[in-house]
Amino acid sequence: MSDTPLTPSRSAASLLCAELLQAHELRLRIDPAQLGFASTAELVQEPFSWIGQQRAQAAAEFGLAMDPPDYHLFVLGEEGSGRTSLLRQAMQAEAQRRPAAQDIAFVHNFAVPERPQALRLPAGQGRSLRRRIEAMVDKLPEQLDKAVQQAQHRSQIEQLYNQARQAEEAAFGTLHDWAQSAGLRIHREEGQLVVESQDSGPAGQGDAGGPDAGGPDAGCPDAGQPAADAPAALTAAERLQQPSAADTDQLPPALQSDSQPPADTEADPALLLSPGEGAEQEGKDGAEAPSTAAPAEDLEYQLRVQLAQFRGLVRQAQMARDAALNLFYQSLATPLWQAASAQVLEGLTPSAEHGATLQRWLSQMQAEWLKNMALWVPGSIAQDADALLDQTDSIEGEGESQDARDDARALLETKRKALRALSQLNLIVDHHGEAHAPVVLEDQPSLRNLFGTIDPPEDDERRSDFSCIRAGSVLRADGGFLMLHLRDLLGDEDSWQALRRVLRTRQLRIEDAHAAQGPSSSGAMLPELLALNFKLVLVGSEEAYYQLQESDPDMARRFRVKVDFSDQFQASLATYRATAALMAQRCKLYQMPHCDASAVARLLEQSHREADDQQRQSGRLNQLEALLLESAQRARQSGQQPGQDRLVQAADVEAALAAQRLRHNAMEQDLHAAITDGEHLISFAGSQVGQINGMSQIDTGDHRFGLPVRISARTHAGQEGVMNIEREVAMSGPIHDKGVLILQGYLTALFGHLAPLALNASVVFEQEYSGVEGDSASCAELYALLSSLSGLPLRQSIAVTGALNQHGEVLPVGGLNEKIEGWFDLCAAQGLDGSHGVLIPARNQRHLMLAERVVQAVEAGQFHVYTAEHVGQGLALLMDQCNLPATGALHPMPEAQRLPIAVVQAAEASLLQYRLACQRADAARPRAQRSRQRLLPKAAKRPPLD
C-alpha cells in the first residue's frame, strides 16, 4: 500500500480519486501594490462608510426619513459589525436635515398645584424665558420702590398712618377720661401703659396702645408707686405685654388676608390682657363682659373691660390702615406687572396652545403676587412705617417683643422665597444653541433615565412640586432620534412595559420615582401629559428580533423597518479601501502608528480568515480593530528610537496573531499533548479496517481550534441496522443524529438489491466524553462502516471531514481551517513524511484560508489537501483504489455506480454472508418459537431524542 499522494489525470473519467489542491489554492493572498496607497496615513480624511452593508444602509436611510408613526428601526446583526457606529452616523446625518427640537418646561399651576402645566417653546427660547422671569421677579420690587419714592405716593402713605394714629389717640383719650372718673391715672412710661391710683401710686400697667396721654398727672413725682387704698387686685403693677405674631396667627398678616397689615410696615401693637387672666377677654373687639364676670362695682373688672375696648379700637384702626395700604400698593404694582409681562413675552414664538398656557400662567402669577403684597413690599416702605411708629411711642420695648418681631420677619422671608420659587420656570429640556434635531444614545435605559422622574428634595422626600420634575432620554430625543440596545431593556420589565406604552400611545406622563414606595404628599403629583414624536432605533441580535416577532407581535409591529447587518460581505477593491480607511481613522483616534500597505494586506487576509471565505470579508470589524491596535503597539515597542513610531508592517500583524493564539490556546495545547503522549489514541500512519481519523472543531468563545478524533465501526449479522452509540447514551445532538440516519438511508439504498439487509452495525467516537454535535463526520462514519463491511483498510495518515446526503454527495462543513491546522500540527509533531493530508468537501475549497505553515508544507510536498465531491472519490483515496475503475453500469444500483468496484463487491459479499448466517440461525430455532415470534407485535419505533 502506497502512502504517496495520488494525482491522476483529470481526463480519466473512468477512474475515481479525490483532487489534490495546489499550495496557491489554500489561501487568498492580497498584493499590497493593488491597494493604491503606501500607508493608512493617506486615508485619514476618508469618511467611515457602510463597508459591505449596502442593504442595511438603504433600510436605515429609508426608516430614518419616514415620518409616520410605527416606522421605528430594529437593527440586527453581530456585535462588532459597526451597527451602532453606522446607525449613529446615519441618525446624525438625518438630524442635520431636520429643524431643532422644542424646549420643554414645566410651571407651577397656581389653581391646581398638583397638576403642573407643560410649556413648549422653540429651541433656545426656554432659556430666554427663564432668564426673563427671574429678572422680572427681581426687578419688580425695585420698580415698586421707585414708584413709592415719588412725593405724592409718600404723602399718601404718611396720611394713612396719621389717620391710624389719630384713631389711636382718640381711643386712648377715651380710656384716659374713664380712668380719671374712676380715680385712676393712666400714662406711658418706657413703652408701657402705667395705671395708678390718683391718691398714692401705680395700680397697674400695660403695653402702650396709643399716643402719649400727656395728662396733668403724667409728671407726678410718685408715679409708678402703688396706692395704699388701691383695690387688692391692683396693688402690684401688671405688665400687659403685646403678643407676638406667633401668638396670634403664626403667619404674616399679608399672607392671611388681603385686609391685614403688611408685616414690614410694623403695625402698631395693641393692648392685650396679661397671661393667665382668662380667655374671655380675647373675644370680639370691644365685646361686653360675660354674665359670669365680676360685679360692675369691682374696679379691676371695669378696668379690664376698658382695656379690651381700647384694644379693639386700636385693632380696627390698624386693619383699616393696612387694608388701605394694600389697595394702594396693588394700584401701584398692577401696571408694573402688566408692563413686565409684556416685556417677558416679547419676541417669543410659542404655538397657539402653549402661548395661551403661558399667558394664563403669567396672569395667575400676577394675581398671586398682588394678593401677597407683604412678600415684596420695598424696604423704604418698612422704614417709613418704623419712623411713623417711633413718633407715636408705639414701638415695643426690648425683650420678647423684639424677638417676636424677628421671628415674624424670618417667616416672612421664608414665604417670600417660596413664592419666588413657585414663580420660576423648570426647563427640563433645553436645546439652546442647537440647530438640528437631537440624537440621543441611552446606554443605561432604566425607568427614570428613559422616562424621567419627580425627585423630591433631599431634606423632605415626602414633598414635591413642579421644580422636582426631571426629563429622561425619551423627552430629550423628542423631535429627533433615540438609540437603545435591546439587551439593556430585557432585564428591566418595568422599563420595557413603559416603552411599549409610550410607543403605542405616543404620549408620556412623568411619574414620581418614590410613588411606589408608600403614600406621600408627592404621590398626587400628576404633570401634564406630553405628546411625543421621536424615532426609536433599537439594536439587538437576530435571535432577539425573531423572538420579539413571535412573543410580542404588538410591539414588533412598531418596528416596520428592519436594518439587517450581514456577518460577512463580498470583498472587492472598494471594500478593501473602505476597510483601510477605517483602520486609518482608528490609528488617528487612538494615536497609534499607521500601517503600511503590507500590513493592511495582511489585516485584510485575516478578515477573510474570520469569514472562512476567500471571496468574502468578515463583518465583525471589532476583531479587526483589536488586531490592528495590537499590531500597532508592537510596532511602537520595536521603534528604532524612543518616542519615534515606525509604520506597522506585516510582520507586526503576524506577531500579534501569534501572541493572541498564545494567550488563548492553553486548552488546545493540553489536548494536543494528550494525543502526543499517547493518552488519546490517534494513528498517524499505516492502515486499519473499520477505523478512521475524523476532524472536529472546539470553540471556547475566545478561541477556536481543531482536534482529531478516532471513529471506529463494527459490523456483524443481525436485524437492527446501524446503531449510533453516542445517541444511545444521549451524548449526541440532533444534527449528529440526523447525519447518522442519513448515512443509514444511503447504505440501505446502496445495497437495496440485497434487501432486507441482515446487518447490525455500531459507530462510535472513541475517547469522546463531552458529547458530539454536527454532521461533519458523516462521511468519516460511512467510510468506517464500508471498511468494516468490505474488510478493506483505510489510510490513517489522512484525516477526513465532510457531511453526506442520501445520494452520496459530500456537503460542505464549517470550521475547516481550524480542523486542518489542528491535524497538521499533530502530524508535524510526529514528523511529516509526505504521506499526511486531509480529505475535505470540494465545495469547501473557497473557504480555505490556511496558515502559512500549512501552505509552506503543502508547497514542499510534505502535506496534502484533497477534495471530494462524492464519497466514492474519498473511498478510492483512503483505500488506495484510485487506479481502479468504478462499478459503473455493471452495478444495478445507481448509488453504487460511483464507488470503487472492489469495495462494493467485498461489502456485498459480507452482507450475503450475514444474511445466510441469519437464515441459519432462524432455521435452527424450533418451529413453535418461530411462529410465536411472527405473532408478537412489532416493537414501537423509538422516538427521536430532543
Q: Quote the pLDDT of residue 742.
A: 85
pLDDT digits (tens, 9 = 90+) for 748-780: 888 878 777 778 888 888 887 777 777 888 899
Residues 237 and 853: their CA atoms lie apart, in Å, by 118
What 3-state class would DSSP assign to 296?
coil
Could you identify the residue written with the cell 478578515?
607
Q: What number of residues does the chain have?
A: 946
Contacts of 103 (CB under 8 A, 6+ apart): 120, 121, 122, 123, 124, 125, 126, 127, 427, 429, 430, 431, 432
By the 8 A CB rule, do 587 and 624 touch? Answer: no
Q: List the one residue out of 52, 27, 26 whose CA is nearest residue 601.
A: 27
What 3-state class would DSSP assign to 530?
strand
Q: Kindly state the average pLDDT of the residues 595-613.
A: 95
The gap from C-alpha 126 to its chain's centroid, in whole angstroms, comes to 27
Residues 111 and 720: their CA atoms lie apart, in Å, by 88
Residue 678 grid coordinates: 499517547
pLDDT, mean over the chain: 80
Q: How many CA atoms lie within 13 A of 50 on its CB side?
A: 20
Could you identify the residue written with the cell 454535535?
773
By the 8 A CB rule, do 229 and 183 touch? Answer: no
- Band (pLDDT 50/70/90 cuts) for residue 256 is very low
By the 8 A CB rule, do 706 and 819 touch? Answer: yes
Q: How far is CA 709 from CA 556, 558, 680, 827, in A?
A: 45, 50, 9, 13
Could you identify the residue written with the cell 369691682?
298
Residues 337 and 364: their CA atoms lie apart, in Å, by 12
Q: Kindly state the average pLDDT of the residues 713-720.
A: 84
Least confident residue range of 3-7, 642-646, 683-687, 919-923: 3-7
**Percentage of the chain surpassing pLDDT 90?**
47
Contacts of 342 (CB under 8 A, 6+ apart): none
Is the pLDDT assigned to residue 162 strictly greater than 80? yes
Residues 927 and 937: their CA atoms lie apart, in Å, by 18
**H-type alpha helices, 257-374:** 299-345, 352-371
What percent helix, strand, coil does the chain show, rounded to 5?
Answer: 50, 15, 35
Q: Quote the pLDDT of residue 286.
A: 40
Q: Kindly state the average pLDDT of the residues 712-740.
A: 78
Longest pairwise C-alpha distance within the chain:
160
Q: Quote the pLDDT of residue 270.
A: 29
Q: Quote the pLDDT of residue 886.
A: 74
Q: Quote the pLDDT of residue 754.
A: 77
Q: Quote the pLDDT of residue 380.
A: 52
Least confident residue range of 14-18, 486-490, 560-564, 670-674: 14-18
Q: Quote the pLDDT of residue 211.
A: 38
By the 8 A CB rule, do 333 and 370 touch? Answer: yes
For 692-719, letters b (16+ CB in 10 Å) and e give bbbbbbbeeeebbbbbbbbbbbebebbe
Please give the single-letter amino acid code of residue 354: H
Q: List the one residue out of 248, 182, 587 whose CA is nearest residue 407.
A: 248
Q: 895 vs 47, which has greater pLDDT? A: 47
Q: Quote the pLDDT of residue 226.
A: 34
Is the pLDDT assigned to residue 225 strictly greater than 60? no
Residue 596 grid coordinates: 503600511
Q: Quote the pLDDT of residue 816.
A: 94
Please give the single-letter amino acid code of residue 767: Q
Work out the number of other CB atoms within 10 angstroms of the CB of residue 109: 19
From first CA to last CA, the distance across the chain in angstroms is 44
Extended strands (E) in 57-171: 73-76, 103-107, 117-121
By the 8 A CB rule, do 179 and 195 touch? Answer: yes
Q: Kindly state the average pLDDT of the residues 273-291.
A: 36
Q: Kindly state the average pLDDT of the residues 220-239.
A: 33
Residues 725 and 919: their CA atoms lie apart, in Å, by 27
Least confident residue range of 51-65, 290-304, 521-535, 737-751: 290-304
Q: Quote the pLDDT of residue 899.
A: 85
pLDDT digits (tens, 9 = 90+) for 99-117: 999 999 999 999 998 899 9
- Band (pLDDT 50/70/90 cuts) for residue 261 is very low
Is the pLDDT assigned to residue 796 strictly greater than 80? yes
Least confident residue range of 220-234, 480-494, 792-806, 836-850: 220-234
Angle between helix 778-790 and helix 734-750 axes, rounded to 10 deg: 40
SS (H, E, C) 834-850: CCCEEEEEHHHHHHCCC
Q: Kindly state the average pLDDT of the residues 391-398.
A: 37
Residues 907 and 98: their CA atoms lie apart, in Å, by 76
Q: Kindly state the average pLDDT of the residues 308-336.
A: 89
Is the pLDDT assigned to residue 267 strictly greater than 80? no
Q: Kindly state the average pLDDT of the residues 226-234.
A: 33
Sheet (strand 117-121) strand order: 117-121, 103-107, 426-429
H or E, element range at 19: strand 19-20
pLDDT digits (tens, 9 = 90+) for 496-533: 999 999 999 999 999 875 554 444 444 568 899 999 99
Kindly report the backbone phi and psi dihedral angles of residue 768, in degrees, each rounded to the nearest multiple of 5, phi listed first: -115, 115
By the 8 A CB rule, do 124 and 433 touch? Answer: yes
Residue 784 grid coordinates: 468506517
DSSP 8-state secondary structure symbol assigned to residue 945: P
Q: Quote the pLDDT of residue 642.
A: 57
Q: List the one residue out of 243, 313, 301, 310 whose CA is nearest residue 275.
A: 243
Q: Quote the pLDDT of residue 397.
A: 37
Residue 779 grid coordinates: 462521511
Residues 782 and 778: their CA atoms lie apart, in Å, by 6
Residues 946 and 943: their CA atoms lie apart, in Å, by 9
β pairing state of 507-508 and 530-531: antiparallel
Please give the single-letter amino acid code of residue 933: Q
Least confident residue range of 35-49, 249-263, 286-300, 815-829: 249-263
Q: Kindly state the average pLDDT of the residues 344-358.
A: 92
Q: 753 vs 613, which has greater pLDDT? A: 613
Q: Quote the pLDDT of residue 73.
A: 96
Q: Quote the pLDDT of residue 402.
A: 65
By the 8 A CB rule, do 713 and 785 touch? Answer: yes
Is the pLDDT assigned to residue 346 strictly greater than 80? yes
pLDDT digits (tens, 9 = 90+) for 18-33: 899 999 999 999 999 9
DSSP notation for 231-273: -GGGSS----PPPPHHHHTSS-HHHH-TTSPPGGG-PPP---P
Residue 333 grid coordinates: 404694582
DSSP notation for 121-132: ESTTHHHHHHHH
Extended strands (E) in 549-654: 561-564, 568-570, 616-618
Residue 439 grid coordinates: 440624537
Q: 278 vs 883, which has greater pLDDT? A: 883
Q: List the one residue out of 141, 550, 213, 55 whose CA is nearest residue 382.
A: 141
Range of 68-82, 711-725, 845-859, 890-904 with top mean pLDDT: 845-859
Extended strands (E) in 788-876: 794-795, 798-800, 803-804, 810-811, 837-841, 864-868
Q: Quote the pLDDT of residue 521.
A: 43
pLDDT digits (tens, 9 = 90+) for 295-305: 445 888 888 88
Residue 40 grid coordinates: 493608512
